[in-house]
Structure 1
Amino acid sequence: METEVYSFLLGPAVIPSLPSCIALLVTLQIHQLMAAQFKVIGSDQPLVVSVGEDAVLPCHLSPSMSAASMEVRWFQSQVSPYVHLYQDGQDQDGQQMSEYRERTSLIKDDITNGSVSLIIHSVRPSDHGQYKCFFQSDVYYEEALLELQVTAMGSALHISADGYQDGGIRVGCRSAGWHPEPKAEWRDHRGQLLPPTSEKISMDAGGLFHTEISTVIMEESNRNVTCSVRNLVLNREKAAKIDIADQFFPRVSVTVVALAVVVAVLGLGYVLFLIWICFLIVSDSDL
């Protein structure tokens, strides 16, 4: 039996140099890092929410990619304790800020496209401020800053007349339940500002502001005096008018003045008549 022997001629083995290997690895690593980079997009406008409503803080990745396996952290001034944390595929509450316990949740319906919005339920005045939305993958992280403005329109204005002062009437204006701190002022019937004699702003236990402002109304500026309290965030106000003239500076009519003059003249005539009678009696007695 003959055995056929085949022979092959192989060229020299191509062994890449060490610098080439390093360059290749660096290139692959850079490509991987660039592919993993993203931006975090929040809202470039403040989110305005009234006390008691739910606030939805939007946040998503750009370009779109899944955040299901990432860490998503919402916090304020410091990373921990946090407002809300999504990690290892589920929400974590171990180091959550006590004031947010059972008040936050994430909208994860579109998390595979990198959209994870935070809901703060039943917003309080203390929720007012800045929030950071933080995403972290295995090799990259980024964050965005959002601002939540909590607002409240206060109660109807209560106006009172508190007595006489400096030749005029001191009037007060009070209202409660505002957020943020409101601006209160008095204006006369021409719309001109009246200088306040006192102004007080206080905060209740719930974080809402109470305001009280008083001024002195003089008779020459007493028509349709208006107190207004304005929410500067919403640019809305509540106002109340009072006509001081009708209530505190009644004007005397011409008839009343004429009647007073007639009474005065008659009274004077009667006194003179009595004096004349007395004079006659004295004169007769002397005779």
Structure 2
Amino acid sequence: MLHFQSYRRLHQTDRLTLQSPFWTLSVLVLHLLLTNSCKGQSQLIGPLQSILAGVGDDIILPCYLQPALDVTTETLEWKRSDLKHIFIHVWRAGQDLIKEINPSYKGRTSLFINELKHGNISLKLSKVQRSDQGTYECDLP
């Protein structure tokens, strides 16, 4: 099983400390950071609990605006700043921008398009790989 840990971040200046879990070769840890906490009066919210998945599984990295706002026409970015090509998924002007994402994630990420109008920016990551380990950021730049 792969082990995914997600955290919410209420302000960009907040620092969260992570306790190291016991690792085996089959364990993978992902952290979820919400890099832009406010959009008007809304905040980006993510879970505090861990998300478990096995290699090859599909997972959802939750990210919501609360209170909900329609973000269908906004720019939404999912990224990993530890990668050369940092973007995992980009949504701009009502469409996915495939050319801007990291090649190792092409065809493996998706948003819940019908939920964007309710402030749901969660990302589905399909066919989880060991190389998916890292810190993921949900952002409304």
Q: TM-score, normalised by structure 2?
A: 0.66
Q: 2:140 aligns with which of 127, 132, 135?
A: 135
Question: In structure 2, what is the Cα distance between the partners aligned to 1:35 and 1:98?
Answer: 29
Q: Structure 2 matches for 1:1-287, cutoff 5 A?
A: 36-77=40-81, 81-136=86-141
Contact 1:51 1:123 in 2 (8 A): yes
Q: How many Å apart are 1:50 and its aligned residue? A: 0.7
The runs of at least 4 consecutive aligned structure 1 residues that moved more than 3 Å come to: 78-81
Paired residue type of 1:115: N
Question: In structure 2, what is the Cα distance between the partners aligned to 1:35 and 1:119?
Answer: 22
Q: In proportion to residue count, which structure has more helix?
A: 1
Question: Size of the alignment, in residue pairs?
Answer: 103
Paired residue type of 2:78: W
Question: In structure 1, what is the Cα distance between the partners aligned to 2:127 and 2:99?
Answer: 22
Contact 1:59 1:133 in 2 (8 A): yes
Paired residue type of 1:71: T
Of structures 1 and 2, the larger Rg is shown by: 1
Paired residue type of 1:112: K
Q: What do residues 89-126 of structure 1 show as CA deviations (whole Å, max 9, x unaligned)?
A: 10001221011011111112221111121111111111
Question: In structure 1, what is the Cα distance between the partners aligned to 2:82 and 2:135?
Answer: 11
Paired residue type of 1:74: W
Question: In structure 1, what is the Cα distance between the partners aligned to 2:113 and 2:62?
Answer: 11
Q: 1:105 to 1:35 in 2, by over 3 A?
A: closer
Q: How many Å apart are 1:78 and its aligned residue? A: 5.8
Paired residue type of 1:63: P
Q: What do residues 254-284 of structure 1 show as CA deviations (whole Å, max 9, x unaligned)?
A: xxxxxxxxxxxxxxxxxxxxxxxxxxxxxxx
Question: In structure 2, what is the Cα distance between the partners aligned to 1:134 and 1:111?
Answer: 14
Q: How many Å apart are 1:82 and its aligned residue? A: 0.2
Provide the aligned C-alpha RMSD in A: 2.1
Q: How many Å apart are 1:36 and its aligned residue? A: 2.2
Tell me, which stretches of 5 or more residues in structure 2 are unaligned?
1-37
Tell me, which stretches of 5 or more residues in structure 1 are unaligned?
1-33, 137-287
Paired residue type of 1:92: L
Secondary structure in 2 matching 1:94: helix
Greater RCO (CA < 8 Å, at least 6 residues apart): 2
Q: How many Å apart are 1:131 and its aligned residue? A: 0.6
Q: What do residues 169-223 of structure 1 show as CA deviations (whole Å, max 9, x unaligned)?
A: xxxxxxxxxxxxxxxxxxxxxxxxxxxxxxxxxxxxxxxxxxxxxxxxxxxxxxx
Contact 1:72 1:85 in 2 (8 A): yes
Q: How many Å apart are 1:35 and its aligned residue? A: 8.3
Secondary structure in 1 matching 2:117: helix
Q: 1:40 to 1:53 in 2, by over 3 A?
A: same
